[in-house]
Amino acid sequence: MKNIMKTFIKYVSMNIIGMLGISFYILADTFFIARGVGPDGLTALNLAIPVYSLFHGIGLMIGMGGATRYSLALGLGNETRRQGVFPQAACLVLFFSSIFTILGLVATEPLAVLLGADGDTLGLTVGYLRILLIFTPFFMCNNLLVCFVRNDGAPQLSMAGMLAGSIFNVIMDYVLIFPLGLGMQGAALATAASPLVSMLVLSIHFIKKKNKFHLRPVRPSLKSFADICALGSSSLVVEVSSGLVMLVFNLLILRISGNTGVAAYGVVANIALVLTSIFNGISQGIQPLTSQNSGKKDSAAIRQILRYALALSLVLAVLSYALMYFASTPVVALFNKEQNPQLRAIAENGMRLYFMALPFIGVNIVAASFLSSIARPRQAFAISIGRGIVVVIPAAFLLAGMLGLNGIWLTMPVTELIVCLLAVAFLRRETKRT
């Protein structure tokens, strides 16, 4: 058990730090855009984030799904299966990233209008979106490499790659927005170039010839594609749901509080991305450990890993909520350069209500990843789709109609609590089986 604890701490700590690094991609944009462009820029960023969540989610689906199958095959000692996973996952990345790049070249403005951009925010949204979409192949390739390098026994290098990309993004956000005066397009360029830095760091794994996976010619296999997507589907739904929820909330808040309300929600939502990345770090950290032990049929180790993950997620959730509750005023002030009193009041109230969901979010994310890593993709998908679409969207419309803006903020706690009950039931059943 001591070895399990030591390995758990190693993988989970590296992934929490790394995922926090990735989450700062958008948070840095939020901060510098708020300071350098103003409320319209913040609104435009918030309107564009759902698209980022979509292609980032697809990249994570392929990376997590492929890396899970890679680790399961390692546990089973199936070398042929293990060596075939990475090339198939790379084919999927090429296919999906090409679609987004083409979209960025020919259809950015209609997409921005669809997302809710208007005369004040349309140009800003288009400029930001176009660059992100054209650079989609780099985001997806980075997601793929981060997951495989981590599962190939190098969680420290995976973390280093993610952090390097994030630090580069923060520095270049400042340089491109302020000294060079490029505004929204500068923020987009900084974010888009960050995966290149991350991949440069990850290339050390190949230069030192420590990689046990290789890119080689393969015949694309629909069966392999389906397997990778199924195992990574919960990761996709987690990311896409955050974008979809943001889109729905944007439209509802626009009706109630206008662009100022959307800008305030942008502050809350982007801080939520950072806090949620903590739980994503835990879930991604346990994935290779759970998959390998599942392949070895080590039930005691699997249950112990789950207990550690749930306990850690609950502790960090409580600490995060306390921090956000008592520090909401200075946190909001960082993103409110013009000291807009309406934006401040909306955002502070939103943080205190919205983040009540954190303990349930932690359990749900860990549960979905755990179930996926032991080859239970249907249960993992049910949790993810429940919190991402099935429960949250009807709840948003219902609570907004009943309670207005407060109803929108309370949508997340209500949704995550309902889904948490389902997640706990799944976990109890699976741990009895193992």
At residue 328, what is the residue type?
A: S
- How does residue 1 score in pLDDT terms, banded at 50, 70 and 90? very low
Q: How many Cα atoms sit within 13 Å of 117 on the Cβ side?
A: 27
What is the tens place of the pLDDT at every residue in 130-150?
A: 999 999 999 999 999 998 998
Average pLDDT score, the chain: 86
What is the tens place of the pLDDT at every residue in 247-283?
A: 888 889 988 888 788 888 888 987 888 888 899 889 8
Burial 6-23 (b: 16+ CB within 10 A, else e): ebbeebbbbbbbbbbbbb
Name the residue range of residue 311's domain: 2-433
pTM of the predicted model as reported, rounded to 2 decimal places:
0.73
Burial 141-176 (b: 16+ CB within 10 A, else e): bbbbbbbbbbbbebbbbbbbbbbbbbebbbebbbeb
- Helices 183-202, 136-151: axis angle to 10 degrees equals 30
What is the tens place of the pLDDT at every residue in 223-252?
A: 889 989 888 877 787 777 777 787 888 889
> Residue 426, Cβ neighbours under 10 Å: how many?
19
What is the tens place of the pLDDT at every residue in 4-40?
A: 888 888 888 887 887 777 777 667 777 788 888 877 8
The C-alpha atoms of residue 388 and residue 271 are separated, in whole angstroms, by 18
Q: Which residue has the higher pLDDT, 125 or 433?
A: 125
- Asked if residue 67 lies in contact with residue 288, where contact means CB atoms within 8 angstroms, the answer is yes
The C-alpha atoms of residue 202 and residue 154 are separated, in whole angstroms, by 10
What is the tens place of the pLDDT at every residue in 368-401?
A: 888 887 778 788 888 988 887 889 999 999 999 9
Closest CA to 9 of 273, 420, 304, 364: 304
Total count of domains within the chain: 1
CA 219 to chain centre: 30
C-alpha separations of 217 from 85, 87, 214, 228, 308 in Å:
12, 7, 10, 18, 40
C-alpha separations of 341 from 20, 261, 331, 369 in Å:
30, 11, 14, 40
